[in-house]
Amino acid sequence: MPALAPTIVFADAHLVVCDKPAGLRSIPAGGEGRKDCLAARIRAIHADALIVHRLDTATSGLVLFARGAEMLRRMNRGFRQRVVGKQYVAVVHGHVAEDAGEIDLPLCAEPGRNPCQMVDFTHGLPALTRYRVLERSGEGEAALTRLALKPVTGRTHQLRVHLMSIGHPIIGDPLYAPADSPARHGRMHLHAAQIAFIHPHRRVAVSFASAVPF
């Protein structure tokens, strides 16, 4: 089934902010029939749009595009300097005990399991996630926690692996949750809900939000 169409939340001469549906790749993948992606769909509307950051295929939410190479350079610098703020919402298995906290675990690729990542204190790159409990529900095997997540770093699969590593994988995650979780929950419950930054041309603070679809 084709992925739903992305929604353009904001566009001006310098930037495009869009809302990616779950199931749509951020960029094309290799192989026949795997070229459809968010970047191609946005470029069909704004030919100069260049993707600044990506979301996993199973993740929905806000993605930022720069219009032209100079805007891309400026926004990439903002990400490197960690002045772009992103917040996600996730629903995870189990009841997270602390109301708020940090997960500080280094990550690297898991050998032989591309694209999976793992915690590795010898070879991993620093990765830091902050979380806050929004709601706890259910009991026993049906226990769930809704979390607000702030990734301080931006490693591949960071939120997914960090949450799995503390015993609370995201429900519906096809790589890191229990094998029956995707069938039980339909989609991975991870959504990029907010993004905030200094507009690279207007030099004013801007922020955008997307309603959580689960």
Give catalytic residues, as residue numbers: 56
Closest CA to 18 of 3, 5, 2: 5
Cα distances (angstroms) measured from residue 74 to each of 27, 38, 185:
20, 21, 39
Tokens found for residue 15: 């930037």
Please give the helix or strand (H or E) that residue 69 lies within, else none: helix 69-80
Q: List all residues 6 or more positions away from 47 whose beta carbon is below 8 Å from its beta carbon.
A: none
From CA 115, how far away is CA 27, in angstroms rounded?
15
From CA 134, how far away is CA 174, in angstroms rounded?
23
First to last CA, the chain: 20
Cβ(95)–Cβ(58) below 8 Å: no
- With tokens 């610098």, the residue in question is 77
Residue 90 φ/ψ, nearest 5 degrees? -135, 155
Tokens found for residue 120: 């590795």
Cβ(194)–Cβ(62) below 8 Å: yes
